Amino acid sequence: MRLTRLPETLPEPFDLVATRQVGLDGLVSFEGRQYSVPFPLIGQRVEVRGTAGQVQILKACEVVATHPRATRARLVIDQAHYNGPSTEHVRAPPPLGRLGARIQELSQAPVAHRSIDLYAALAEVAR
């Protein structure tokens, strides 16, 4: 009897695992957060693993998505999960469009830090 070969990359150790169904919005819940999954998996069951620094989402023993674990955000989305052609069972989401793309761009922009003195000066000018 012979042993089978090891996979190219060994699985990362994990401390928590759960089976979840992918919602109609392409998200799965895990540890109080929601994580995006490639849209062709909508309605299917996936395995979600919590590793040291990541959340891994697997289908048929293949990692289909990874996200940072324990972020401040409660909704963690990879926009690439919503791109691509329709499948036999799932229609592709429509593209964001100009307004949606602008909103996404603004949401990812860093917050500007300004001195309170600037606002005081602006208020003086407005009088």
Give the pLDDT confidence score for residue 94 in this predicted structure. Answer: 86
Residue 45 above 90 pLDDT? yes
Give the pLDDT confidence score for residue 19 in this predicted structure. Answer: 97
Q: Phi-psi bin for 84: left (phi > 0), alpha (psi -120 to 50), beta?
A: left
Q: In what order do the strands lie in the sheet with 14-21?
A: 14-21, 45-51, 54-59, 62-68
State pLDDT tens for residues 57-82: 999 989 999 999 999 999 999 989 99
Q: Measured between alpha carbons, how far is 93 from 84 in angstroms, rounded to an integer?
A: 9
String of DSSP letters for 1-43: --PPPPPSSPPPPEEEEEEEEPPTTSEEEETTEEEE--GGGTT
